[in-house]
């Protein structure tokens, strides 16, 4: 019989070897400049995101970056995404001013300008409702499409005229890669909104972890089990965030809004395996009340290990298929789930239960020491 509990120090050492480098790279995020550690999307750090479709096909991101850098946007980031079978080019830059004027097209002819010539706003093929900055946190959102021959403005649609740096860059992009056939989204997020989103992210994860700890403590009537489960959750969070910090440093992998969903899913999945082991420990303590606690825990781990591994592999295979064929838009989300589920299975089997044994043994030693101290005065009196 494999002695998991007896080899627990090796498993602790492996967990430290994984988490310590991740923690170091997480701390590198605090260094000014933003080139090392965690890399945040514009939802967290503020900026402008422009998603367009080129009529001649999506160009290589490296080539788009070169054109943007030559036109005054050296820090721009470019990705190719797929939506409804259509390839789009996603461009991220620092926060830019997007709008010059807003109005509602009532279907009448455009008003003449000072010279008497009629000025017409750029028509769009599929305008949609534009949320206000207070509601969405964005300085401006331009849905719809770029001018397409034969398209006419839709009465009642809100028209936003793009100006500033993007207006200067668009001709250079079209000259290099062909006309822009459609603009899927154009959004600017301010720093105040991004700071609030970061606070909400940490608050959600903290509330989820504490809620799980209190529930396990109540369910098993044992604070040690709740606290150990929380330590295992902290291990999984550090592993996932640490891997993203390392990959963000070397390949620019970003944390986006879906990362919060991934982390909450990881927390729930990780504690699921931990509860299964703890429940079997509780049952075996009743069935084998005369055995040592570490032997009972080791037996419980071996009884539930096959179930935990089978469940995790089922999810991992599904996520691998989604990672390989789901498109670039969900890669970071699926990657976080993959890392977290593998880490959660490991921590439930090789960290949480052995830690419970160490805590129990420490309590036993402390109890024996207290009994020994109480016995000494009685021996002297005798």
Tally the domains of the chain.
2
> Do 23 and 68 belong to one domain?
no
Give the tokens for residue 57.
Answer: 């096909």
Provide the domain limits for residue 69: 47-189
Cα(306)–Cα(377) distance, rounded to whole angstroms? 52
> Do 337 and 298 belong to one domain?
yes
How far does Cα 215 stand from its chain's mean position? Answer: 25
In tens digits, what is the pLDDT along the chain, a chain of 382 residues? 688 899 999 999 999 999 999 999 999 988 877 678 998 877 777 788 888 889 888 898 889 989 998 888 887 878 888 777 788 888 888 777 655 433 344 444 343 343 333 333 333 333 333 333 333 334 444 344 444 333 333 334 333 345 567 778 888 998 999 888 777 777 777 665 556 777 777 888 888 888 888 999 898 888 999 999 999 999 999 999 999 999 999 988 888 878 888 988 888 888 888 899 999 999 998 888 888 999 999 999 999 988 888 989 999 999 999 998 887 778 889 999 999 999 999 998 899 999 999 999 999 889 888 888 887 776 666 6
> Do 61 and 77 belong to one domain?
yes
> Do 181 and 210 belong to one domain?
no
Cα(192)–Cα(187) distance, rounded to whole angstroms? 15
Write down the pLDDT at residue 34: 67
Write down the pLDDT at residue 151: 35
Write down the pLDDT at residue 121: 37
**Is position 310 within any domain?**
yes
> Do 218 and 261 belong to one domain?
yes
Looking at the chain, how many residues does it have? 382
- Phi (first) and psi of residue 153, to 5 degrees: -60, 145
**Is position 1 within any domain?**
no
Q: Could you tell me if 340 and 239 are in contact, meaning their C-beta atoms sit under 8 angstroms apart?
A: yes
Last residue of a domain, one of 189, 218, 240: 189
Q: Could you tell me if 38 and 242 are in contact, meaning their C-beta atoms sit under 8 angstroms apart?
A: no
Give the Å distances, CA to CA, from 332 to 11, 260, 279, 328, 374.
28, 11, 34, 8, 59
Cα(327)–Cα(369) distance, rounded to whole angstroms? 60
> Do 13 and 58 belong to one domain?
no
What's the distance, Cα to Cα, between the start and end of the chain in Å?
48
**Is position 381 within any domain?**
no
Write down the pLDDT at residue 382: 60
Q: Could you tell me if 63 and 276 are in contact, meaning their C-beta atoms sit under 8 angstroms apart?
A: no
> Do 87 and 101 belong to one domain?
yes
**Is position 39 within any domain?**
no
**Is position 340 within any domain?**
yes
Cα(18)–Cα(355) distance, rounded to whole angstroms? 17
> Do 239 and 158 belong to one domain?
no
> Do 102 and 212 belong to one domain?
no
> Do 179 and 215 belong to one domain?
no
**Is position 322 within any domain?**
yes
**Is position 28 within any domain?**
yes
Cα(100)–Cα(103) distance, rounded to whole angstroms? 10
Write down the pLDDT at residue 235: 94
Write down the pLDDT at residue 112: 38
pTM for the full predicted model? 0.70
């Amino acid at each position: 019989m494999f002695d998991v509990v007896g080899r627990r120090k090796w498993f602790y050492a492996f967990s430290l070897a994984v988490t310590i480098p991740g923690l170091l790279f997480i701390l590198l995020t605090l260094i000014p400049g933003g080139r090392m550690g965690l890399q945040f999307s514009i939802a967290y750090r503020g900026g402008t995101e422009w998603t367009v479709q080129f009529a001649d096909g999506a160009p290589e991101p490296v080539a788009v970056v070169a054109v943007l850098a030559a036109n005054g946007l050296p820090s721009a980031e470019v990705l190719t995404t797929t939506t409804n079978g259509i390839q789009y080019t996603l461009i991220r830059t620092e926060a830019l001013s997007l709008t010059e004027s807003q109005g509602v097209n009532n279907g009448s002819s455009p008003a003449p300008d000072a010279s008497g010539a009629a000025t017409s706003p750029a028509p769009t093929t599929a305008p949609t409702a534009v949320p206000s900055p207070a509601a969405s946190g964005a300085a401006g959102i331009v849905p719809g499409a770029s001018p397409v021959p034969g398209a006419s403005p839709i009465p009642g649609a809100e028209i936003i005229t793009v100006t500033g740096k993007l207006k200067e860059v668009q001709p250079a992009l079209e000259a290099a890669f062909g006309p822009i056939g459609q603009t899927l989204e154009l959004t600017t997020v301010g720093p105040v909104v991004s700071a609030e989103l970061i606070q909400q992210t940490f608050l959600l994860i903290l509330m989820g972890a504490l809620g799980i700890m209190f529930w396990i403590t109540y369910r098993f009537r044992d604070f040690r089990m709740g606290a150990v489960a929380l330590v295992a959750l902290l291990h999984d969070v550090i592993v996932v965030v640490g891997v993203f910090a390392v990959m963000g440093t070397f390949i620019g992998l970003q944390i986006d809004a879906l990362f919060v969903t991934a982390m909450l899913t990881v927390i729930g999945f990780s504690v699921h395996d931990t509860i299964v082991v703890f429940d079997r420990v509780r049952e075996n303590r009743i069935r084998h009340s005369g055995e040592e606690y570490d032997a009972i825990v080791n037996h419980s781990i071996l009884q539930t290990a096959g179930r935990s591994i089978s469940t995790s592999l089922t999810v991992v295979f599904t996520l691998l298929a989604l990672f390989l064929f789901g498109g670039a838009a969900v890669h970071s989300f699926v990657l976080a789930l993959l890392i977290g589920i593998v880490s959660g299975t490991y921590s439930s089997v090789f960290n949480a239960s052995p830690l419970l044994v160490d805590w129990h043994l420490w309590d036993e030693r402390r109890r024996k020491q207290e009994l020994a101290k109480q016995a000494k005065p009685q021996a002297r009196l005798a």
